[in-house]
Amino acid sequence: MFQAFNNYATFSGRASRSEYWLFYLLSIIVFGIAIALMLNGITAITEFEDLRRHIHNTSFAIGLFIAVVWFVFALIPGIAVTVRRLHDRNMSGWWYLGFTVLGAVPMVGWIASIAFLVVVCLRGTPGENRFGEDPLDGGWGTADVFA
């Protein structure tokens, strides 16, 4: 789960599917905890005075703090692991920018989002490609382990 942080701002090389998805699983867990804390801090907002009182609620503040700190801390590794995941598919990292821009276009964004999800779910190119060695070569995923 923390492999992406070991390569904090490394945009070169390749990332396996497990490295990519475990990083995002960790992000979902952290944001889930933060949202649960914030929802615990908000009970019923009916007027502006209630909103000001709830913002100062400790649970809400802790949840908001966790979400903001995690977002700032994980932004660069998240982009880097995504670029390396695209490299594993033998695609340039600029495709990430293209998918992001297309994702913001109305009526096209959902198609681009589904296409991006399919791309990051597919297995990387076997063997070496123009971005480096296969991250699975020599690991548990090959038969060489038992030879």
Based on its alpha-carbon atoms, the radius of gyration of the chain, rounded to whole angstroms, reads 20
Q: Does any domain span residue 131?
A: yes
pTM for the structure as a whole: 0.79
Residues 19-70: tens digit of each pLDDT: 999 999 999 999 999 998 888 776 655 455 555 565 556 778 888 999 999 9
Q: Does any domain span residue 142?
A: no
Q: Does any domain span residue 146?
A: no
Tally the domains of the chain.
1
Domain that holds residue 106: 3-136
Strand partners, 129: 132
Residues 91-113: tens digit of each pLDDT: 998 999 999 999 999 989 999 99
Q: Does any domain span residue 141?
A: no
What is the DSSP code string of 45-106? --SHHHHHHHHT-HHHHHHHHHHHHHHHHHHHHHHHHHHHHHHHTT--THHHHHHHHHHTST
